[in-house]
Amino acid sequence: MCGIAGKISTGGPVDPELLARMCEVIEHRGPDSRGTFVEEGVGLGVQRLAIIDLETGDQPIFNEDETVVVVLNGEIYNYRELREELAAQGHRFRSRTDTEVIVHLYEELGDDCVDRLRGMFAFALWDRGRRRLLLARDRVGKKPLFYRAAGGALWFGSEAKSILQDPEVSREIDLDAIDSFLHFQYVPHPKSAFSALRKLPPAHLLVWEDGRVVTRRYWKLSYAPDDRYSSESEIHERLRDELLDATRLRLRSDVPLGAFLSGGVDSSAVVAAMARLSSRPVKTFSIGFDVEAFDETLYAREIAELFGTDHHEFRVEPKAMEILPKLVWHYGEPFADQSAIPSFYLAELTRRHVTVALNGDGGDESFAGYDRYPRNAFVHRMRWVPRPLLKGASHMLERIDPGREPRSLRARLRRRAQALALEPWDRYSMWMAYFTERERADLYTPEFRAALGTDRTAPSMIRDLYLGSDATGFVDRLLDVDVNSYLPGDLLVKMDIATMAHSLEVRSPLLDHRFMEIAARLPAAAKLHRLNTKHVFKNAMRAWLPDRILDRGKMGFGVPIGDWFRGALRELPGEVLLDPRSLRRGFFRQDAVRGLIDRHAAGAEDNANKIWALLQLELWLRTYVDASAPAPVAMSI
């Protein structure tokens, strides 16, 4: 696991001092060593976190005659099998690192080398003979990759802050990206919060040659039905076998290794698989809260005791918000997923004991684990009702006061009322919104709306993904949408930044692309069975896990931010968002912002998500746009 950065130019040499700055600002991603490669018009850099081959695995890595050079962020889990195959074909290896298989695979297959890689990765490969750069990002987007192409030059980096080290690169914000952030709580690829930067989408290649840039997609999940299974028990056995195989590959490490354990289905399944494959007790790590509705430590302890793990816990309290400036600096873009807070602390706790941790990311997107899937499916089944009747019912139900609790019956009825008359993609987009289209219109000043224009990403992104899916069923289409939006844009960003901030590598067996391919092609009814989420996966895991864990309600990994904003942190939103510095930006109507804060504080509404998103945006602006050199801003909490 590492951080990579670089610049390619047709206009002259790359400044080695610039390359050093690009690496230094992401040193937290790889504190063990720094490697650079510089020749005319080319500069590649890497900060290495040593996981495999601690002695001879430093990067950059070359092929035999040094005509191909690569820097890698990530891990290639099947490197041993690829190494054996390539050695049999006559390739000579200088190290035992997984990175080296990439240069030799490229010699054999060219750009198609990515098809053979099983892992998480973002790499830059320079073909010196052809003066050609290949950038590649893994299939589901576990490893990030930003880039800028302008004037025949190309900059790239694991984080935006690397590219921003070049004074040639503007920090002008992308207003459409800000609008999308307020909708989704993250900036979706290929956009960046900075107008000058882009994100290479998951499962994509980028080729730079003679100053020209071409991108293409090399992989996509298919939801076409797989009819090979004769019984559900056969499916269960296949899922367990594939999970064991994906976990076995992710246990390859030359440094201490453990697991995140929430006590939910997915993390418990991964720990169960690890326990079956490990000769020593698995080290497990959990986060808890003093607010019972958010605390899962009881379940985590139950799994820890069941499998005899070496278990560690950490509790998060309101004072945890003291890390907010540091959080904003590390994420580098506006990012409003509140679970970044416990993720950040969990990574810090875990890194005290191990360098690698496995987690349960990906299970919900493969097996329909979120509550929004059955809720949307229920509304979707009402599509036979004539549209005028749906619109009438929608108008009547919209008059319901949503109340202060977002999961209350009144709040759920109101959301469903708003969704009744919408197209399925617009309904899902509304369900995913922090600020809906209507709410953003009420929030924005006339000047900001005018500057934003009409060509916007947020209203169309979910529609395009929904209509572009090969899934025939409604639920599978939603899963396909999430695999291509919420998963890489939110969950994987959250985990990558939180863990890399503490030089911790996280591996996710449920995001193994072969495991995901099997899950995608299972019948939708096996994933969402009536109102039962993750039906087939839970039943497969009954051979390993107790019913009490498998059948309890999903809690997620949130924080009691709503309670904090009415209690210990009651003054924080107003102090930041109604500060003259914030209001002078002219983005949001002062009365609209004040109303959100006041109604939340009074308990009339639950606006915690909206307030949190606005806080994240304002602190990001202060950190990355206002400041001459980005650094965590000073705050009193």
pLDDT in tens, 569-616: 899 999 999 999 999 999 999 999 999 999 999 999 999 999 999 999
141 pLDDT higher than 90 = yes
What is the reported pLDDT for 64? 95
Ranges of H-type helices in 308-362: 324-331, 340-351
pLDDT tens for 454-471 read 878 888 999 999 999 999
Please state whether the peptide bond connecting residue 459 to the residue before it is cis, i.e. omega within 30 degrees of 0.
Answer: no
Q: Is the pLDDT of residue 387 over 70?
A: no
Q: Phi first, then psi: give them for residue 385, nearest 5 degrees.
A: -70, 135
Which of the two residues, 404 and 448, has the higher pLDDT score?
448
Separation between Cα atoms, residue 500 and residue 96, nearest integer Å: 23
182-216: pLDDT as tens digits: 999 999 999 999 999 999 999 999 999 999 999 99
| Tokens found for residue 20 | 């050093």
Averaged over 377-386, what is the pLDDT? Answer: 73
pLDDT reported for residue 409: 56
Q: Beta-carbon neighbour count of residue 407 at 10 Å? A: 9
Q: Distances in Å between the alpha carbon of 85 and those of 78, 91, 92, 116?
A: 11, 9, 11, 11
Same domain, 126 and 195: yes
- 85 in any annotated domain: yes
Residue 295 belongs to what domain range? 232-368+483-550
Per DSSP, the three-state class of 154 is strand
- CB of 545 within 8 A of CB of 261? no
Among 509, 524, 550, give the residue marking a domain's end: 550
ω before 402 within 30° of 0 (cis)?
Answer: no
For residues 422 and 430, is the Cβ–Cβ distance under 8 A?
yes
| Same domain, yes or no: 149 and 246 | no
- Tokens 């947020």 belong to residue: 458
Statement to judge: residues 407 and 498 lie in one domain: no
Domains of the chain: total: 4
- Looking at the fold, whether 489 and 567 belong to one and the same domain comes out as no
Reported as type and span, the H/E element at residue 610 is: helix 608-620
The pLDDT assigned to 1 comes to: 66
Q: Identify whether 223 is part of a domain.
A: no
- State whether 142 and 271 are in the same domain: no
Question: What confidence score (pLDDT) does residue 176 get?
Answer: 96
The whole-number average pLDDT for the span 503-524 is 97
Which of 183, 217, 251 is where one domain is finished? Answer: 217
Separation of alpha carbons 58 and 100, rounded Å = 10
559: nearest Cα among 323, 209, 308, 265 = 323
Give the model's confidence band at 53: pLDDT under 50 very low, under 70 low, under 90 confident, else very high.
confident
Whether residue 123 contacts residue 116, with contact meaning beta carbons closer than 8 Å, is answered with no
**Average pLDDT rounded to a whole number, residues 615-619:** 96
Would you state the torsion angle of the CA atoms of residues 367, 368, 370, 372, taken in this order, to the nearest 10 degrees? 180
In the chain, the percentage of residues whose pLDDT exceeds 90 is 77
Q: pTM for the full model?
A: 0.93
> pLDDT, tens digit, for every residue of 391-440?
565 556 555 555 555 555 555 555 566 667 788 999 899 889 999 999 99
Separation between Cα atoms, residue 176 and residue 289, nearest integer Å: 36
> What are 267's two structure tokens?
């993390």
Same-domain check for residues 287 and 323: yes
Instruction: Given the residues 2, 22, 164, 259, select the one marked as catalytic.
Output: 2
What's 266's domain CATH number?
3.40.50.620
Domain holding 192: CATH number?
Answer: 3.60.20.10
Is 205 in the same domain as 245? Answer: no
Q: Which pLDDT band, with edges at 50, 70 and 90, does 561 fall under?
A: confident
Last residue of a domain, one of 217, 242, 270: 217
Specify whether 315 is located in the same domain as 391: no
Residue 463 belongs to a domain? no
Q: How confident is the model at residue 113 (pLDDT cuts 50, 70, 90)?
A: very high
Same domain membership, residue 492 and residue 395: no
For the record, the structure tokens of 526 come out as 């096996």
Tokens of 582: 């914030």
- Determine the Cα–Cα distance for residues 259 and 309; give it in Å rounded to an integer: 10
**Long-range residue pairs from 568-574, CB within 8 A, at least 24 positions apart, any chain:** 568/318, 568/319, 569/318, 569/321, 569/637, 570/601, 572/321, 572/615, 572/637, 573/597, 573/600, 573/611, 573/614, 573/615
DSSP one-letter code for 200? P
Question: Are 205 and 310 found together in one domain?
Answer: no
* Burial environment of residue 268 by CB neighbours within 10 A (0 to 12, 13 to 18, 19 or more): buried
What single string gives the DSSP state of each residue in 40-82? TTEEEEEEE---S-TTT--SSEE-TTSSEEEEEEEEETTHHHH
Across the chain, mean pLDDT equals 91
* Confidence at residue 400, expressed as pLDDT on a 0 to 100 scale: 57
- 158-181 pLDDT, tens digit per residue, is 999 999 999 999 999 999 999 999
> Is residue 554's pLDDT more than 80?
no
Where is pLDDT greater, at 404 or 151?
Answer: 151
Q: What's residue 413's pLDDT?
A: 58
- Per-residue model confidence (pLDDT) at position 404: 52
Residue with token string 């000058």: 196
Q: Which of 179, 138, 173 is nearest to 332 (CA)?
A: 173
Tens of pLDDT, residue by residue over 54-87, are 888 899 999 999 999 999 999 999 999 999 999 9
Residue 445 lies in a domain: no
Alpha helices in 332-473 (DSSP H): 340-351, 363-367, 372-380, 387-397, 409-419, 424-431, 437-443, 446-452, 458-467
CA separation for the pair 541, 548 (Å, rounded) = 12
Domain assignment present for residue 472? The answer is no
Of the chain, the percentage scoring pLDDT greater than 70 comes to: 90
Whole-number Å distance between alpha carbons of 185 and 300: 28
Alpha carbons 213 and 10: distance in angstroms, whole number? 13
CA dist list (Å): 514 to 388, 521, 546, 603: 45, 11, 26, 47
Question: Is 497 a domain residue?
Answer: yes
Same domain, yes or no: 107 and 127: yes
Whether pLDDT at 237 is above 60:
yes
Q: Would you state the pLDDT for residue 234?
A: 94
What pLDDT is attached to residue 51? 92
With beta carbons less than 8 A apart as the criterion, state whether 169 and 196 touch.
Answer: yes
Torsional sign, CA 92, 97, 99, 101:
positive
Task: Output the six-digit token pair for 586.
Answer: 């002219």
Best CA proximity match to 83, nearest among 68, 67, 98: 98
Domain annotation covers residue 307 = yes
pLDDT tens across 288-313, in order? 877 666 678 899 999 999 999 999 99
Find the Cα–Cα–Cα–Cα dihedral 292, 293, 294, 297, rounded to 10°: 50
| Shared domain check, 262 and 148 | no
> Coil, strand or helix: which one is 183?
helix
Q: Which two tokens stand for residue 589?
A: 């109507």
Q: State the pairing for strand pair 2-8/42-48.
A: antiparallel
E strand or H helix at 102: helix 100-109
The reply to whether 113 belongs to the active site is no
370 close to 428: Cβ distance less than 8 angstroms: no
The answer to whether position 14 is within a domain reads yes
Q: Which residue has the higher pLDDT, 294 or 509?
A: 509
Residue 129 has pLDDT above 70, yes or no: yes
